[in-house]
């Protein structure tokens, strides 16, 4: 299992005990984890570990697994909405299909009490940024009223087009913010992926502060390599988490990194770093 397949189909050993105790503190952020990054664990094992650490959500899980997550007091914090990474809202020929997917998935999410669904711009394939932007606005305008009615937020994800998703159009914050501004709905926001935007733009904390009203969801990840968010990589996630919490962000702050070592230790450390 990996992330692409999901969206296209729908400290020293002696200090470990203290670390775990600290990680179980609530903190000000609702931390979660992306399912695909811990695919070696069953959904039951992952949910148990998240609950042990005081986490609040698990991203990108299928409907059959929602009850397992909810049984452990967790929320499926973002689920499939409509469209895919390559084929998304930036082309009008995709809008009928995406609208139908959104109608079904927004209704399912609302019935289960879930907060967010995910969507994507799609790849450029020669499309200008202005035309792609306008088409995304048109597509989102077709489904925003239902999202508002259902009380579920549609999150347009920012991805990098330099390393992981070549040609993806929503690859800069300013472009995606303009989409959200033009749609002008409290139920259409951005999934601000810190890993992806570090690759494309950097200046993470300033960008978050200037655009927090347009952000509905966060993903983390170490760079380079999308590994653990610890001192081995270039982002200071403690400072980022502090900045997000200070902005009174009430959504989910979800870890989307692939552990290079012990997955339990990596997740525990991530929660500790971001417990602010």
| In a domain? residue 143 | yes
Could you tell me the CATH number of the domain that includes residue 163?
3.20.20.150
| In a domain? residue 130 | yes
| In a domain? residue 17 | no
| In a domain? residue 212 | yes
pLDDT of residue 116: 98
pLDDT in tens, 10-52: 533 434 444 445 445 569 999 999 999 999 999 999 999 999 9
| In a domain? residue 88 | yes
Q: In sequence order, what are the beta bridge partners of 190?
A: 156, 215
- Residues 39-68 have a mean pLDDT of 97
Q: Which domain holds residue 123?
A: 3-8+23-273
| In a domain? residue 204 | yes
DSSP string, the chain: --HHHHHH----GGGHHHHHHHHTS--SSEEEEEGGGGTTS-HHHHHHHHHHTT--EEES--GGGHHHHHHTT-EEEEEEEE--SSS-TTSGGGHHHHHHHHHHHHHHHHHHT--EEEE---B-TT--HHHHHHHHHHHHHTTHHHHHHHT-EEEEEP--TTTTSTTBS--SHHHHHHHHHHH--TTEEEEEEHHHHHHHT--HHHHHHHHGGGEEEEEE--TTTS--SSTTSS--HHHHHHHHHHTT--SEEEE----SS-HHHHHHHHHHHT--
pLDDT at 151 over 90: yes
Q: How many domains does the chain have?
A: 1
pLDDT at 9 over 80: no
| In a domain? residue 205 | yes
| In a domain? residue 157 | yes
pLDDT of residue 14: 39
Q: What is the pTM of this model?
A: 0.91
């Amino acid at each position: 299992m990996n992330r692409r397949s999901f969206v296209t189909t729908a400290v020293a050993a002696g200090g470990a005990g203290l670390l775990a105790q600290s990680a179980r503190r609530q903190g000000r952020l609702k931390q979660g984890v992306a399912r695909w990054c811990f695919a070696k664990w069953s959904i039951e094992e992952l949910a148990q570990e998240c609950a042990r650490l005081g986490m609040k959500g698990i991203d990108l899980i299928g409907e059959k697994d929602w009850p397992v997550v909810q049984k452990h007091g967790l929320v499926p914090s973002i689920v499939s909405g409509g469209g895919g990474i390559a084929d998304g809202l930036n082309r009008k020929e995709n809008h009928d299909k995406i609208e139908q997917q959104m109608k079904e998935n927004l209704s399912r999410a609302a019935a289960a009490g879930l907060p967010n669904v995910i969507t994507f711009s799609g790849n450029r394939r020669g499309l200008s940024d202005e035309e792609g932007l306008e088409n995304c606005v048109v597509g989102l305008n077709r489904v925003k009223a239902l999202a508002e009615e259902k009380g579920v937020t549609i999150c347009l994800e920012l991805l990098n087009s330099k390393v992981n998703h070549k040609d993806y159009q929503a690859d800069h914050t300013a472009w995606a913010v303009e989409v959200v501004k033009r749609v002008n709905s409290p139920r259409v926001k951005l999934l601000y992926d810190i890993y992806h935007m570090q690759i494309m733009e950097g200046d993470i904390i300033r960008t978050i502060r200037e655009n927090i009203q347009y952000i509905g969801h966060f993903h983390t990840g170490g760079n380079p390599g999308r590994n653990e968010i610890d001192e081995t990589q270039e982002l200071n996630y403690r400072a980022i988490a502090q900045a997000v919490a200070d902005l009174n962000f009430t959504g989910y702050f979800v870890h989307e990194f692939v552990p290079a070592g012990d997955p339990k230790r990596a997740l525990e450390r991530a929660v500790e770093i971001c417990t602010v």
